[in-house]
Amino acid sequence: MNDDKRIDGKAFSASVREKVKRQVETLQRDHGITPGLAVVLVGEDPASQVYVRNKAKQTVEAGMRSDEIRMEATATQAEVLEVVDRLNADPGIHGILVQLPLPDQIDETAVLDRIDPAKDVDGFHVINTGRLQVGLPALVPCTPRGCLMMLKDRLGDLSGLNAIVIGRSNIVGKPMAMLLLQESCTVTIAHSRTKDLPELCRRQDIVVAAVGRPHFVKGDWIAEGATVIDVGINRVPKDDGKTRLVGDVDYDEAVERAGAITPVPGGVGPMTIACLLANTITACCMANGIEEPA
Ligand code: GUN
């Protein structure tokens, strides 16, 4: 019974990647265009290296061009900006992603804002943030785009539903709230100063947890039948001295009340790279003035 409630992000992301692969084939066949994604990694952060390797692998599997630019941890701001400028000018590159976090000597905002907004597949540039805000076509951050896809797949029309987003980051919380508002949800954005959060949560049809605190959201915060999207990826110690990944939601408690819920791992996580590929298709089609293939 509880198995039916589990939203399988792994299977869903595979279907998104299959669609992207078909779109790449169509773009090549009908327009002679191969979408290209460049990822810039500065330094040796182990988690970033894993992300970047997975991104490159999935980009190639989707049939796209994949460029990986690795720079020393001691790279200067001017050197990173020079790489961004070169990629901005490369007509074969449709998407640029600079992996975060960047080393301390580099001004993150300055780098992100140097990326051509038309190639900003992370959707972090202020131009894309602003376009999303006013409802213009925009490149949307990958994780919220993936969350919305899963919500619409499960619930269909979201219009009129009450939704709470817990967390107000620029990467997840704020864009997620904007996307839900665009779907005509009534949206609450909660954060560390929010009063009576459990009570507020219990009034929601949709709960998106993006606070970065293990098992922050308890089972009795969830209304009977609500849909729960858990964006958290927290590494916690186990009794045997090893570690495991848990979400921001106490899954075992919440699954008893939720109508549908994403697990961690295997929920939102796999959707992020799939949406990065989908964003690269979007950017490629916009750059060439063609409609996105079905
Ligand atoms: N580091 C961790 N997640 C992300 C992401 O989605 N985009 C970028 N650029 N860096 C990250």
pLDDT, one tens digit per residue, over 150-170 is: 999 999 999 999 999 999 999
Residue 99 Cα to ligand 1 midpoint, Å, equals: 5
CATH number at residue 66: 3.40.50.10860
Residue 113 Cα to ligand 1 midpoint, Å, equals: 15
Token pair in block for residue 217: 């959201």
CATH number at residue 191: 3.40.50.720
Domain check: are 258 and 160 in the same one? yes
Residue 71: predicted pLDDT:
98
Q: Is the pLDDT of residue 1 over 80?
A: no
Which residue owns the Cα nearest ligand 1 atom 2? 100
Residue 100 Cα to ligand 1 midpoint, Å, equals: 5
Token pair in block for residue 166: 């817990």
The boundaries of the domain holding residue 43 are: 31-136
Test site for ligand 1: of 39, 52, 97, 143, most ligand atoms within 8 A of the Cβ: 97
Domain check: are 116 and 64 in the same one? yes
Domain check: are 129 and 147 in the same one? no
Test site for ligand 1: of 87, 125, 171, most ligand atoms within 8 A of the Cβ: 171
- What is the spatial distance between Cα 221 and Cα 202, in angstroms, rounded to a whole number? 5
- Block residue for tokens 């019974």: 1
In a domain, 215, yes or no: yes
Q: How many percent of the chain have pLDDT more than 70?
A: 100
- Among the candidates 112, 136, 160, a domain finishes at 136
In a domain, 88, yes or no: yes
In a domain, 265, yes or no: yes
In a domain, 111, yes or no: yes
Domain check: are 186 and 253 in the same one? yes
Q: Is 261 helix (H, G, I), strand (E, B) or coil?
A: strand
Domain check: are 112 and 226 in the same one? no
Q: How many percent of the chain have pLDDT more than 90?
A: 98
Domain check: are 160 and 258 in the same one? yes
- Block residue for tokens 């039916």: 4
Model confidence at 2, in pLDDT bands (50, 70, 90)? confident
How much is the average pLDDT of 206-211?
98
- Among the candidates 116, 136, 156, a domain finishes at 136
How much is the average pLDDT of 28-34?
98
Which of 271, 283, 293, 289 shows the shortest CA–CA distance to 96?
Answer: 283
- What is the spatial distance between Cα 191 and Cα 170, in angstroms, rounded to a whole number? 13
pLDDT tens-digit readout, 39-55: 999 999 998 999 999 99
Q: Is the pLDDT of residue 236 over 80?
A: yes
Residue 214: predicted pLDDT:
97
Residue type, 214: P
Domain check: are 213 and 102 in the same one? no
How much is the average pLDDT of 118-145?
97
In a domain, 105, yes or no: yes
pLDDT tens-digit readout, 246-289: 999 999 999 999 999 999 999 999 999 999 999 999 999 999 99
- What is the spatial distance between Cα 117 and Cα 121, in angstroms, rounded to a whole number? 8
Domain check: are 158 and 235 in the same one? yes
Domain check: are 40 and 84 in the same one? yes
Which residues are CB-contacts of 15 (< 8 A; sequence separation ≥ 6)?
Answer: none
For 65-108, the DSSP string reads EEEEEEE-TT--HHHHHHHHHHHHH-TT--EEEE-SSPPTTS-H
Which of 216, 228, 289, 284 shows the shortest CA–CA distance to 256?
Answer: 228
In a domain, 25, yes or no: no
Q: How many domains does the chain have?
A: 2
Clarify whether 23 is annotated catalytic.
Answer: no
How much is the average pLDDT of 224-239?
96
Name the average pLDDT for the chain.
97
CB atoms within 10 A of CB 138: 21
Domain check: are 261 and 148 in the same one? yes
- What is the spatial distance between Cα 272 and Cα 52, in angstroms, rounded to a whole number? 12
Rounded to whole angstroms, the maximal C-alpha distance in the chain is 56
**Could you tell me if the CB of 71 is within 6 A of ligand 1?**
no
Domain check: are 193 and 217 in the same one? yes
In a domain, 292, yes or no: no
- Among the candidates 136, 170, 200, a domain finishes at 136
Pairing status of strand 243-246 against strand 234-237: antiparallel
pLDDT tens-digit readout, 79-125: 999 999 999 999 999 999 999 999 999 999 999 999 999 999 999 99
| Alpha-carbon distances, residue 128 vs 100, 112, 132 (angstroms) | 18, 11, 6
Residue 92: predicted pLDDT:
98
Residue 132: predicted pLDDT:
97
Residue 174: predicted pLDDT:
98
Domain check: are 44 and 127 in the same one? yes
DSSP symbol at 14: H
In a domain, 7, yes or no: no
Are 142 and 276 within 8 A, CB to CB? yes
